Structure 1
Amino acid sequence: MNIRKVALLSGIALSTLSAPAIAQGAGAPAEEGTIAASSSDIIVTAQRRAEKVTEVPISITVASAAQLERQQVNTVNDLARIAPSLEIQSAPGQNTGGGGSIRGIGTLTFSPGAVASVGVVVDQVSQGNANISDLFDIARVEVLKGPQGTLFGLTTSAGVINITTNAPEFGEFSARARTELSNAGTAGAKYGNQVVQGVINVPLASNAAARISGVANLRQGVNRNATTGDYNDNDRYGVRGRLLWEPTDRLTVNLIGDYAQTRSENGGDFFTFVKTSGPGSFLGGAGFDAVGITGRLASCGVTAREGNRDYCSDNAQVGKSRSYGGSLQVDYAADPFTLTSITSLRKADETGYGAASDVFRGSPLELQVANDPVDRDLSLFTQEFRVSSASGSPIEYTVGAFYSNQKQTRIPETVRVTLVPVPGVVIPIVTSTTPALTIRDESLAFFGQATAHVTDSFRLIGGVRYTTDRLSVNTASSNSETVLDVAKWSWRLGAQYDLAPTMMTYATVSRGFKGGQIAVPAVGDPSVVQPEIPTSYEAGLKATLFGGWVADLSVFYMKIQNFQAQQCTVDGNGIISCIQTNIDGVKTRGAELNFFGKVSENLSLNTGFIYAKATYPGGFLGTDGTNIGGTQLANAPRYKFTLSGEYQVPVGENFAGFLSVDTVWKSRVRYEANSVADTTFRPHWLVGGRVGVRTQDERYTVSVFVRNLFNVHEPSLMQSDFPYSSTTPGGAVEGNIGAIYGSQSFRNVGISLDARF
């Protein structure tokens, strides 16, 4: 319990209530441009220009600021609840570029030089592997499905998470504070979480304004150290500043800077035991355990079962990370086109003891696997130039060039395997060290996309991108360099037709591209993983219902050449070994239906359903040697349903009551590329919601919320043979299973306060 922390954060939030309120919707952000649209139209920038979502020939799920707040979407991981096609693999150390997958296709890897299949773009800047975590002061999130390589580049072979933050507003001083407060053990909450977000808008002149926003996201749990009885603290802080200046009616300048830091104890959300073997087990290649993992964990108060979030460790380890950066966007309206320049620099670093420092987190276990502290640095520079025609032209076009240079450095990283037969006696088994690494990824691309208005109702689409990518890994110990040079074309062709003023249909075919990887094993030479090349076919229909509610229906088929996969097994010494490889012939196909926006003045409803059959090629052998060809990919539910809605009713003249729901249903999910049933999770519902009251002018809101009402223990990741596959003296094999649980895995109940002045 952390009453003082809750009280302090509540006081911080309430102290801002004396500041003036933020006006909502007082002008579109500068990067969206200006188009003629009614107030009910949903505007997106999926094609690097402001357009109505119903006119864009791409399957898109859009979440507004209001939806993100009512669903308590506070982190990138939470975005999986807004779109049925989107999953976020939040396993520590593996969330390359955000760790997303769309329609079953994504990248989950430890490879230091890998890039994402689903790109994360914030205010038109690709985040690369300088991952963001917290979402605050967000105007809109767009989930773009299918390859987006023509306009967004080499990290978007499966799709894009396109995030737009709120722009400064001219002419008024305003501020806002909102909180979500919960405490472990209070009202059924299984962990504590205190989120405080604040924003202030400052006019600097009639044509200039600044906006500063920040967040503190402090969580106690979900993991708990049974040795001390304490929950793991996971604390994150972030701040963003934006300056918007329009020196002339043609020139717009956007300057953005942000900083975030994270501190986690004892690995944060990491592996716990959910199934263990009994007494009389062989320790892989490390001897014989007469007690067994079950008994040893029981001696420190840990019981392996579904939903176990307890571990027992005598260590007190802390991991820290930072990410920060800035961007400068300049737009100049040089009729009949607009010139855009976007320059950005991002940096990130990770130090101390990360999630894998104490892999088993079980001090009584005879077998111990630990990693030394890490020191990893990353920098990413990008520069983009674009020329865009005016909206509504007979031929609308965007052409440009994009350059990126990403550099990572890592000190030597050592894993130590020891045997502790009795306390105080430590027998070394294996010590393995990866060399110091320098990874560089340099890319240059030229791109263009155009839409030709053949008639008032019929349009043709064509786009192309030529990308050169040079990836190199320098190994300091041997002073050797492994290089992968690639040059590839991406393209997109299609057509769209207006069936009615409020209904459009389209069909497209596109070829994407994702850069290769250079896998660096602890022993042996680096190996090359070839670039991932998807070819996607999509047809869809979009319509506006009830004056503002959007329907988005799509059917899709995508086949991937050289799908980049990671297969993890546990060797006889208890070390998790992951191999990066290409799998040729992976497919995903299916259909998706989404509805989002306002049904009526008092009802907002966002819902969707997807059927995505994402499969391994025929004859493919899993990590356990079984044939899993034709079966569903790991981390990819075949069916998923999402629903988020809010209904509001007047309560007297000055107030309105509201009820919100937030529901996700998934079919069975497998977490490994094998046939092990114990590392799958059954079909399940995750149900949450809010009930509260707000003033009619929406200046004040108070509500009570619940997430994961029924306390369903959905894992983030599962691993078989954890730490090894135990063999009893009689010859029977007993599997040990580890799982990673995150904040989505347990119930949380609390109160939310929101004030605008």
Structure 2
Amino acid sequence: MVTSTSKKSQVCAAVLTALLAQQAVAQESDEQAGESNKQTGLEVIEVTAQKRVQSLQDVGISVTALNADAIQRYGIDDISRIELITPGVAFGFIGSDAKIAIRGANSNNTFADNASIAGFFADGVYRPRASQQSQAYFDVARIEVLKGPQGTLYGRNTFAGAVNLTTNRATLGDFDMGVKLGFERFNRRSTETFINQPITDDLAIRVAVQTVRSDGYIKNVGPAGDLGQDDSFNYRLSSYWQPSATFDATVRFTSIKQKGTTPGIFSAEGLPAPVNQDGVTDVRGQILDFGNPAPGSAGTNARFDTPNEVSYDTENKRDNQEDNLTVELNWDLDSVTVKSVSSYTDFSSALDFDGDFSPTPGYAYFWDEAVESVTQELQISSNNDSNLFWTAGAYYSKDQIGFGFSQFRTQTNAPFGTVTDSQGREFTLFNGTESIDPFGAGSFSDYTDFQEIDVTTLGLFFQGEYSISDALTLIAGIRYNEEEKDTTTSFGTSKASDGSFLPGVSKFGINGRPIDLYNYTVADGRAGSETFDIVTWKIGFNYDLNDNSMIYGSGSTGFLSGGLNSNGSSFDQQESEAWEVGMKNRFLDNSLQLNFAFYMNEFSNLVTQRLTFPEGNTSTAVTVSENAGASDVLGFEAEVNWVPTEYWFINAGLSLMDAEYDSFGVTNPFQLNDGLLSSDVNNGLLLLDGATTPWSPDMTLSLGAGHEFNLGDKGTITPYLQFYYSAEYDTDDVSIYASQLQDSYTKTDLRVTWLSLDETLSLELFAENIEDEEVLARTNVGGNNLVQGSYLHPRNYGVKLRYHF
């Protein structure tokens, strides 16, 4: 095992090597400075990472930027494949929640009033829920992954970074249209169409539509359907109006509807539990129990030893919907530019799941989530030719958020026939020996709660860049952030005041979902209110060595919102402080781009989740969040893009990282800790001081290469090979038990694309994850020591046909 000291030495050695290499190549670059301005090699990538349009090479922060061509080349359909080409970024998920990790900070806690460590912005508008980050990409112009806290210009929940998604806007000029058809493994059929129509000289509209249909990639050998089925219909209507040279307006309306079946709520499937010689769960147990059924499923022969294969009786339905209206206005005045971004978003997510992870009927989980958001941001930026460039602004948002978890368990558990209740309703009856479980043999349960939170956010910010000379620019920024949160929790019941079941409910079954059928009452003593405020800052410099090389440095802070638990308690906001030094370079007549950075991060007030049992009810666990410690991260990243000839293109990415908990404690979910009762060791806590943080492999490496072959009047054909390696990493905060560890692995993708001579028609054949690696996305331990997990997508292959008018 590599020690912390040796890993830090590796990082420092990599930095020194990069600095020496840059010094040697920079001498050659000076001689070619005049030639490099021809821009005959790599194209200029424009980004809006600093709230204005800039070349990627002029931005003094670490940004991985993908334009439309790169998105196509890497097969990016959603956020799940970003990690393959972005050093320092890892991806996991549960259910509909994206679990992004950036530079040693992770999004393991997105349940209830917790947010992702990376802010997700679509066309400049923040999306508050992690489930909104998992939506499909279509008609996308650019993706930017910003690494490091973005607390000054972006504000809340950019604790470790941000992801900017920019869609294509309507354009003036000529009519344009395109169609893309996809046919892939698991019977996935997709279509994507756009039409851009100028109306007048200063007005144009654009329509983009995407459909996706697929079978599930998680095979269900039980009586219900496969998991991970997709049934989506998404569209976007946009208009662009430019009545004068100094004013323009862009209006976008996006509707996303993703149905099918969910790959889980807390996980997709069960995993083996660590046990000792006596078969008792022990966090340090060396034996894995592959026959580890959930309560209520004893004797079903369910085993947890086959990734992406389950045996469930519940139809695990998914219904995610979002409608968003965004209006962007831009004015160029005499000395300033004014931008206004206004938005309204209505989002909901409904998931059903098999509660006992087995084909035994009568146990289901339900997750409901809803967000209604209004945002307004006003930016004012200087646009004169002075040495000082500045951006100031104000941000306001109002979020009405609701989320709830329900479980329903019938009284008995083996199918027998049907019965009719006193109201004449027919239900399935379950017979046989009642299951033996810790909650009571065959007991009926209808637990449900729903928490509502009103969040009002205010931000005031300023960032300035002052050029001391043609080469040196100093940067400073500050932001005031304030959040007011109010919460109430309602508990639902399936029975009326006289004790009779409500319509659609019986002890034998439920015809619908608790959120729609139950009566809900606000719980006494479960309300809470809290105001959080913090000032975040940034300082930095950019120094141009020549026209093609820049060195930059920065210190910045960020935060992750504090929150309110369903029992009315609160937890403090998490805070980050980051220091970074990097270089951005273009060499060899603008054909080679080398960007690298060395960084140190400190994360404090980290939050963990703990199971509690309200009112002594041991049959129902309630999850609460609480602050639990801090971590330190040291790392090095490098990205290379090289076009050695007109026909070759090569890319590479490297991440070296040492991420450790300074202090951190989590509740031990297992019965024993090294043979002792968990409650007798550290008051039931696992102390992880010095342990590696989850989703923090000490090394990742990506390599890609493609070559364009000219076929004359038959067009071109381009094979492209992409390789990715990741060292091992943990997939749970409880990082001690064996079944949560993801071993080191590789993934290889191959794409072969034919393009017609007039570039209107293309055909792509591809295979992704050729090794068919079974990679754990996220692991957790639920009630009664049930280990649960989800896997990233298995091998995929298919064909895509594109036509561009």
Length-normalised TM-score, structure 2 = 0.79
The residue matched to 1:154 in structure 2 has which SS?
coil
Unaligned runs of at least 5 residues, structure 2: 1-36, 283-289, 416-429, 435-440, 490-521, 674-684
The residue matched to 1:69 in structure 2 has which SS?
helix
Distance 1:683 1:491, change over 3 A: same
Aligned pair 1:472/2:473, yes or no? no
How big is the shift at 1:598? 4.7
Distance 1:435 1:313, change over 3 A: closer
Residue pair 2:224, 2:312 contacting (<8 A) in 1 also: no
Letter of the structure 1 residue corresponding to residue 581 of structure 2: A
The residue matched to 1:316 in structure 2 has which SS?
coil
Superposition pairs for residues 96-135 of structure 1, below 5 Å? 98-129=98-129, 131-132=132-133, 133-135=135-137
Distance 1:104 1:599, change over 3 A: farther
- 1:206 and 1:742 map into 2 onto residues whose CA distance is 48
Residue 768 of structure 2 corresponds to 707
How big is the shift at 1:193? 2.2
Letter of the structure 1 residue corresponding to residue 585 of structure 2: A
User: Which of 736, 739, 750 is the aligned partner of 1:675?
Assistant: 736
- 2:659 and 2:262 map into 1 onto residues whose CA distance is 35
The residue matched to 1:513 in structure 2 has which SS?
strand
Residue identity over aligned pairs, in percent, reads 20
- 1:63 and 1:178 map into 2 onto residues whose CA distance is 19
Letter of the structure 2 residue corresponding to residue 143 of structure 1: V
How big is the shift at 1:292? 5.9
Residue 688 of structure 2 corresponds to 628
User: Which of 566, 582, 586 is the aligned partner of 2:609?
Assistant: 566
Residue pair 2:106, 2:694 contacting (<8 A) in 1 also: no
Residue 791 of structure 2 corresponds to 741
Residue 656 of structure 1 corresponds to 716
Distance 1:412 1:79, change over 3 A: closer
Aligned pair 1:313/2:312, yes or no? yes
The residue matched to 1:222 in structure 2 has which SS?
coil
Structure 1, residues 453-509: CA drift from partner, whole Å, max 9, x if none? Answer: 100001100000011111221232227531121221110011111111100001111
Residue 211 of structure 2 corresponds to 216
- 1:37 and 1:439 map into 2 onto residues whose CA distance is 55
Residue 341 of structure 1 corresponds to 340
User: Which of 240, 243, 251 is the aligned partner of 1:244?
Assistant: 240
- 2:390 and 2:291 map into 1 onto residues whose CA distance is 66
**Deviates further, 414-423 or 328-337:** 414-423
Superposition pairs for residues 113-512 of structure 1, below 5 Å? 113-129=113-129, 131-132=132-133, 133-183=135-185, 191-228=186-223, 231-232=226-227, 233-265=229-261, 267=263, 270-275=267-272, 293=292, 303-305=303-305, 307-351=306-350, 353-354=351-352, 357-364=353-360, 370-371=364-365, 373-390=366-383, 393-410=386-403, 413-414=406-407, 416=409, 420=413, 424=431, 426=434, 427-429=441-443, 431=445, 433-475=447-489, 476-478=522-524, 481-512=527-558
Structure 1, residues 499-524: CA drift from partner, whole Å, max 9, x if none? Answer: 1110000111112222101122xxxx
User: Which of 533, 555, 559 is the aligned partner of 2:575?
Assistant: 533
- 2:191 and 2:255 map into 1 onto residues whose CA distance is 16
How big is the shift at 1:294? 7.7
How big is the shift at 1:222? 1.4
- 2:331 and 2:634 map into 1 onto residues whose CA distance is 42
Residue pair 1:374, 1:411 contacting (<8 A) in 2 also: yes
Aligned pair 1:87/2:86, yes or no? no
**Deviates further, 546-555 or 41-50:** 546-555
How big is the shift at 1:421? 8.1
How big is the shift at 1:654? 3.5
Residue 29 of structure 1 corresponds to none
Residue 686 of structure 1 corresponds to 747
How big is the shift at 1:282? 8.3
How big is the shift at 1:660? 1.2
What's the RMSD between the two structures over aligned residues?
A: 3.3
**Deviates further, 246-255 or 540-549:** 540-549
Structure 1, residues 201-229: CA drift from partner, whole Å, max 9, x if none? Answer: 11111122111112122231211221348
Residue 187 of structure 1 corresponds to none
Distance 1:141 1:484, change over 3 A: same
Distance 1:574 1:407, change over 3 A: same
Structure 1, residues 367-409: CA drift from partner, whole Å, max 9, x if none? Answer: x7532x4543211111011111127541111001000111113
Residue pair 2:596, 2:638 contacting (<8 A) in 1 also: yes
Structure 1, residues 570-604: CA drift from partner, whole Å, max 9, x if none? Answer: 99979776442223321121111112475543233
Residue pair 2:543, 2:552 contacting (<8 A) in 1 also: yes
Letter of the structure 2 residue corresponding to residue 482 of structure 1: G
How big is the shift at 1:302? 6.0
The residue matched to 1:489 in structure 2 has which SS?
strand
Structure 1, residues 163-206: CA drift from partner, whole Å, max 9, x if none? Answer: 111222212111111122124xxxxxxx3322221111111111
**Between Structure 1 and Structure 2, whose CA radius of gyration is higher?**
2
- 2:713 and 2:598 map into 1 onto residues whose CA distance is 47
The residue matched to 2:216 in structure 1 has which SS?
strand
The residue matched to 2:707 in structure 1 has which SS?
strand
Residue pair 1:227, 1:300 contacting (<8 A) in 2 also: no
Letter of the structure 1 residue corresponding to residue 123 of structure 2: D
Structure 1, residues 509-565: CA drift from partner, whole Å, max 9, x if none? Answer: 112222101122xxxx33211011111111111111341543211111111221233
How big is the shift at 1:360? 3.4
Letter of the structure 1 residue corresponding to residue 234 of structure 2: G
Residue 25 of structure 1 corresponds to none
Aligned pair 1:751/2:799, yes or no? yes
Residue pair 1:107, 1:565 contacting (<8 A) in 2 also: no
**Deviates further, 429-438 or 398-407:** 429-438
Distance 1:134 1:640, change over 3 A: same
Residue 729 of structure 1 corresponds to none
How big is the shift at 1:118? 0.3
User: Which of 687, 690, 706 is the aligned partner of 1:646?
Assistant: 706
Distance 1:566 1:588, change over 3 A: farther
Residue pair 1:99, 1:118 contacting (<8 A) in 2 also: no
- 2:300 and 2:641 map into 1 onto residues whose CA distance is 49
The residue matched to 2:318 in structure 1 has which SS?
strand
- 1:597 and 1:180 map into 2 onto residues whose CA distance is 30
How big is the shift at 1:618? 4.3
How big is the shift at 1:299? 8.8
User: Which of 654, 661, 669 is the aligned partner of 1:609?
Assistant: 654
How big is the shift at 1:37? 10
Residue 188 of structure 1 corresponds to none
How big is the shift at 1:697? 3.1
Residue pair 1:261, 1:320 contacting (<8 A) in 2 also: yes
The residue matched to 1:79 in structure 2 has which SS?
helix
Structure 1, residues 219-262: CA drift from partner, whole Å, max 9, x if none? Answer: 31211221348533222221112211101110010101101111
Distance 1:580 1:430, change over 3 A: farther
Residue 716 of structure 1 corresponds to 777
How big is the shift at 1:641? 1.7
How big is the shift at 1:341? 0.7
Distance 1:415 1:176, change over 3 A: same
Letter of the structure 1 residue corresponding to residue 372 of structure 2: S
- 2:328 and 2:756 map into 1 onto residues whose CA distance is 37
- 2:707 and 2:210 map into 1 onto residues whose CA distance is 28
Letter of the structure 1 residue corresponding to residue 95 of structure 2: P
Residue pair 2:779, 2:789 contacting (<8 A) in 1 also: yes
- 1:332 and 1:194 map into 2 onto residues whose CA distance is 43
- 2:783 and 2:788 map into 1 onto residues whose CA distance is 8
The residue matched to 2:697 in structure 1 has which SS?
coil
Distance 1:298 1:685, change over 3 A: farther
User: Which of 70, 73, 76 is the aligned partner of 1:73?
Assistant: 76
